[in-house]
Amino acid sequence: MFMRIKLFFAAVGAFMLMVLTTWLSLKRAADANEKAKAATGRIGAMKQAEEIENEVEALDVDALKRRSAKWVRETGQ
């Protein structure tokens, strides 16, 4: 009788260990997926910023003033 109880507890312990291992594995995979998505977003933002910077650098002074007029406050002078 005592041997059956020990066997039952061993089986339950093995099952719980399997469930915990599976859960940790899935959590680790989900974390890696989130990091990849964040990195992809940062790369896209960096490319967009570089394109805008190149576009602004290519403008002459008058065109830059016209385009930036809506973003710059007037000083009231």
pLDDT for the residue numbered 76: 66
Each residue of 38-52: pLDDT tens digit?
999 999 999 999 999
Backbone Cα Rg of the chain: 30
pTM, full prediction? 0.54
Q: What is the pLDDT of residues 11-65, one digit of tens each?
A: 999 999 999 999 999 999 999 999 999 999 999 999 999 999 998 889 888 888 8
CA dihedral 51, 54, 56, 62 (to 10 degrees): -140
